Structure 1
Amino acid sequence: MNMNTNIRAVSKLDPVTLTVIDKGLQQVCNEMDLVHQKTSFSPIISESFDRSNGIYGLNNGRLIAQGALGLPIFIGVMQETTRCVCEARDDLNDGDVIIINDPYQGGTHLMDVKMVRPFYYKGKPWCHLANTGHWPDTGGMVPGGFSSTATEIHQEGLRIPPIKLVDRGKMNPEIVKLVLANIRVADERIGDIKAQIAALDAGARRLTALLDRYGVDLVEAAIMELEVRAERIMRSHIETIPDGTYSATAYMDSDGIVNEALEIAVDICVKGPEISFDLSRSSAPCAGPLNSVWATTLSSVYLAMKHIFPDVPLNAGCFKPITVAPPRGTFLYAEYPRPVAGCAAEVSQRIMEVVFLAFAEALPQKIFAAPAGTSGNLGMGGFDPEDKREYIMYYFSGGGYGGWWGGDGITNGCSTIGISKSQPVEVLEQRYPLIFDHYALREDSAGVGKFRGGFGVNYKVRLLRGTAKASFLMDHGRTGPPGILGGEPGAPNTIRVCQSGEISVPEHLSKGEDFELKAGDWIEVGTPGGGGYGDASQRESELVASDERNQYFSESTRS
């Protein structure tokens, strides 16, 4: 579109039309999310919403719109995924769908499988539609993919470069056979594959209707204006931060191989309306699967800023004032063949945590104490002798949010990278040979403060029949989520495993794999509570009395 056409289109953009087009683009993404959710076979998508759909730029993959129902961590990741597809494939036609999960090409861990479809309008390419869904398994050393002892990417599962799954509207059966032959429980995965394609089809229909109604020029002008406004709002927020350099350090428990903490160190430079992030002081690349690929690291910083300034509209303009130096030579810039299973679910949350800690003094009315900071990844796979079938259960759990300037933290909130909810235990008990003996608020887990953190949860899952193998990839097991401004940390993550009556704790506290279970064996997990905000001596007496009535804290904790 030439400049004169663009100017004419902008002149027609009254506030009402701009808002309607903005909401229309978001609604396209929301409907894609709903189709994806409702048609998926895996509970992790259909029940927990571990997926995302969006609209991205034609040549550079820039974010145009992402639905409110999609996982926030993918706001930056899917930009990188789509950009990499644009660079790798110049042979895409109307009706094609690319499948990709390569972490080093705009990905996360291998279980997040992306699909990218070029969108054509009236015979011409206009943008890309893309989505990602967490598949419960893509092969690898352990059921569910969350190996804590992998030392190279090939041990983690099937790695898919950007290849054509659908060619001009026709699915390639040879590609499908290849994928299904390399993963467990293939009958579920074909359902998830078709669900992702169906979501892209729905997006194409809805976006066509939007362009039919308003025309290409007006919609493109609206997208440009929305990006300008998002950039302007983000810049105005950054200007409220005093100029200077802000630094902090957060810690991962270990990499699963070497039982030593990994450091995430950040130096944030604020100068007027611009902000830059330097993570180069972080630990070197690690042996185990806690390396983070660039797309995940970048998206984690973007998401942290979106948490701090949540009113900034979500599109590519939101990120223009933010510069992140690629932290080459650290575990936050993984290169082939480094293992990366824990990057999206665990490392990302610690990157966000370190950003929050760095700004605690400068933005006390914007920053909350550290949340649980772990997705609590639990994988269990085995054979059910009653149903005579193999199964894989991937489960994640909630934890406490940090206290904030206006009140206590949320109890059993979702991870800071998502909007996903834990799968209902009733659904899991129907699908798998197990039972939850208890699932309850975890007393004593909240960090105390003027405003305490929220509480984690405590659950115990027991195998009813057959045999299974369990693996864990969690974090915050060495230390709990830190408090700020005088608040205390929340309780750390705990895991106990009972095998034939013998109870053990994983060597790496929050990580371990190949725990062989038989009927009657169980796993008990206590998720972290959020950190406290402010000095506990300043807590109002009414709030202290309420905590005592509810018996949230034991006598030893209160004293």
Structure 2
Amino acid sequence: MNTSKVSGALDPVTLIVIEKGLAQVCNEMDLVHEKTSFSPVISEAFDRSNGIYGAKDGRLIAQGATGLPIFVGVMQETTRCVLEECPNLGQDDIIIVNDPYRGGTHLMDVKMVRPFFYKGRLWCYLSNAGHWPDTGGMVPGGFSSTATEIHQEGLRIPPVRIVRDGVMNDEMVKLILANIRIPDERIGDIKAQIAALQKGAERLTALLDRYGVEVVDVAIEELERRAEQMMRAHIRAIPDGVYRSTAYMDSDGVVNEPLEVHAEVTVSGDQVTVDLSKSSKPCTGPMNSVWASTVSSVYLGFKHVFPDVPINAGCFAPIEVKKPHGTFLYAEYPRPVAGCAAEVSQRVMESIFLALAQAIPHKLFGAAAGTSGNLNLSGVDPENGREYVMYYFSGGGYGGWWSGDGITNGCSTIGICKSQPVEIMEQRFPIRFEHYNLREDSGGAGKHRGGFGVNYRIRLLRGTAKVSFLMDHGKFGPPGILGGEPGATNQIVISQDGKEFTPEHISKADDIALRAGDWIEVSTPGGGGYGTPSERSDADIASDRRNGYFNEGQRR
């Protein structure tokens, strides 16, 4: 297509209108996905994402403003995999896939990909992802901390048609529902993802009808060029050099030894190269990370540091990530990967932050809580005889930064999800939240202290249940920078028959039996501090104590 004539006529107003129009298509997909899902983790917590991806190579064109950021890079890889393995899709076909080794994350993140045709031509792909609270496996909810192979973690779905010629593939749906728990919820989530893709096709058609394919094509090229230009300008402002850091994970859930994420960030002009090849070897337990999750984590780390760069493929063009073969950050079949997107990804990002803090501390911050706090409770409610699987995650503190204290009870660094409302959880499951409060003294001390984590306790009201959790930062608190102290570590206490204990791996355990009256209490990490504690002003210290954030004799 000759775009020069169109490009010359593409005024700034039209460009920004098309940019916002593409984003609005994705936002409406997100909204449909959210409002029609059955699972609270999607309908209430927004653990999902929808986007538009290139027809030739799956490159990101646009993503919804409220979509989970970790899926920015992941769904590029998912879409590329579908392009390679399903080359002859019709305009009314939809692919379902959750295979971690085919552009995925953990098995609970189920993706759907639909080719979008405009006037008979394949123009792009519409893709989405939603976290299903269960996909089978040996631990309800999928977050097994002791799995040693992928087959123990749940149902693995390669790219297959779930919709063919506009008709749902009932045989495929039956196969999926027969292998997972709570099938009446999952069918609702399946239909919600399909409906979101349909809405995207409708709204995108309207956009192209209004502005024309040539104009929109040129706008996308220009938006990508500008995003790349902005990212390169930011990188150019970083002093050339090689910056190294190490971030630590508690354990892999099976072998009680730390895992190390070694980042080597090389800045040269307007290009940056990230090498993670000196990280720990592949691990026995489920804290391995597949390539799609690892590379997306690096992209997202830079996006946190430079949030003004628009999200599209151009944003990532100046960032080269070397594939870390032979490490736990490049998982291959049949390595277990349940913790990759929710936990390992955040430690990869932490390593990027720590490396860049050496070069541009005025743009960085102490580490955030760095864990999603994945907790699953499952059983049969004796009141109605129904089986249930409850998935819950929680917030923690963000790090102090150059201009102030860190955010308290912020979401995980991979997402913009919110914790599911206590009232909704108590209505749906036989539990009671006995308290949910600020965790005092959890923010790392510094000139600007870290934000605070939270404490919550869940008591089982009736019947029996099993609780499993896969978290992190239980041994190593989120580090501070420029002399700032680390935030408090993750702490978990369980009460069985009145006896309290902490699991061996601290932040990870499977299938702990609970009876009515038993409880689990979680205290999430605070953020790391920024600058030395001695630099903190007397006014800020007095304010913290006045608000009850710290007590006399405790660290500031």
Pairwise same-fold verdict (TM > 0.5):
yes
Counterpart pick for 2:173 among 176, 199, 203? 176
* Structure-2 residue corresponding to 1:32: 29
Deviation for aligned residue 1:9 = 1.5
Cα distance in 1 between the residues matched to 2:22 and 2:438:
39
CA contact (8 A) 2:445 2:555 kept: no
Contact kept, 8 Å, 2:132 with 2:186, in 1: the verdict is yes
**Counterpart residue type for residue 407 of structure 2:** I
**Residue pairs, 1:339-354, within 5 angstroms:** 339-354=336-351
User: What is the deviation of 1:361?
Assistant: 2.5
Of 43, 47, 51, 1:50 maps to 47
- RMSD of aligned residue pairs (Cα, Å): 0.7
2:320 is matched with which residue? 323
Number of matched pairs: 556
Matching residue's letter, 2:469: F
Distance 1:455 1:234 in 2: 31
Per the alignment, residue 452 of structure 1 pairs with 449
Read off the aligned partner of 1:42 and give its amino acid letter: S
What corresponds to 1:117 in structure 2? 114
Equivalent position amino acid for 2:187 in 1: I
> 245, 256, 263: which is aligned to 1:266?
263
Q: Which amino acid aligns with 1:36?
A: H
TM-score, structure 1 as length reference: 0.99
Q: Tell me if the contact between 2:441 and 2:555 (Cα under 8 Å) persists in the aligned partners.
A: no
Cα distance in 2 for partners of 1:361, 1:266 equals 13
Corresponding position of 1:375: 372
- Paired with 1:12 and 1:134, the residues of 2 have a C-alpha distance of 43
Paired residue type of 1:472: F
Residue equivalent to 1:530: 527
Matched letter for residue 100 of structure 2 = P
SS of 1:198 mapped into structure 2? helix
Letter in 2 for 1:215: G
Which sections of structure 1, spanning at least 5 residues, go unmatched?
none
* 2:92 corresponds to 1:72: no
Cα deviation for residue 556 of structure 1 reads: 2.6
Question: Deviation at 1:384?
Answer: 0.2
Kept after mapping to 1: 8 A contact 2:301/2:349: yes
How far residue 554 of structure 1 moved from its aligned partner, in angstroms, is 2.4
Deviation of 1:490 (Å): 0.4
| 1:390 paired residue number | 387
Deviation per CA, 1:258-286: give whole Å up to 9, x if none: 00000000111000000000000000000
Matched residue type, 2:318: P
Would you say 1:302 and 2:296 are equivalent positions? no
Distance 2:197 2:474 in 1: 39
AA aligned opposite 1:126 = W
Alignment partner of 1:428: what SS? helix
Q: Does the aligned pair in 1 maintain the 2:92–2:164 contact within 8 Å?
A: yes
CA distance in 2, matches of 1:19, 1:479: 45
**What's 1:193 paired with?**
190
Please list the CA deviations of residues 456-503 of structure 1 after superposition, one character each: whole Å capped at 9, or x if unmatched.
000000000011111010000001100100000000000011111111
Gaps of 5+ in 2: none
1:551 aligns with 2:548: yes
Q: C-alpha offsets along residues 279-326 of structure 1, whole Å, 9 cap, x if unaligned?
A: 000000000000000000000000000001111111001111100000
Cα distance in 1 for residues equivalent to 2:417 and 2:85:
31
Secondary structure of the residue that 1:435 maps to in structure 2?
strand
Task: Show the counterpart of 1:505.
Answer: 502
1:284 aligned residue = 281
Give, in angstroms, the shift of residue 67 of structure 1.
1.0
Aligned residue for 1:556, secondary structure, equals: coil
Residues 349-498 of structure 1: matches in 2 within 5 Å? 349-498=346-495
**Structure 2 residue 241 is matched with structure 1 residue 244:** yes
Alignment match, 2:156: 159
Q: How far, CA to CA, are the matches of 1:461 and 1:554 in structure 2?
A: 26
Alpha-carbon contact 2:243-2:358 (below 8 Å) kept: no
The CA deviation string for residues 325-360 of structure 1, in whole angstroms up to 9 with x for no partner, is 000000000000000000000000000001101111
Normalising to structure 2: TM-score of the pair?
0.99
Give, as a single letter, the amino acid of the residue that structure 2 aligns with 1:407. Answer: G
- Aligned counterparts of 1:499 and 1:22: Cα–Cα separation in 2: 55
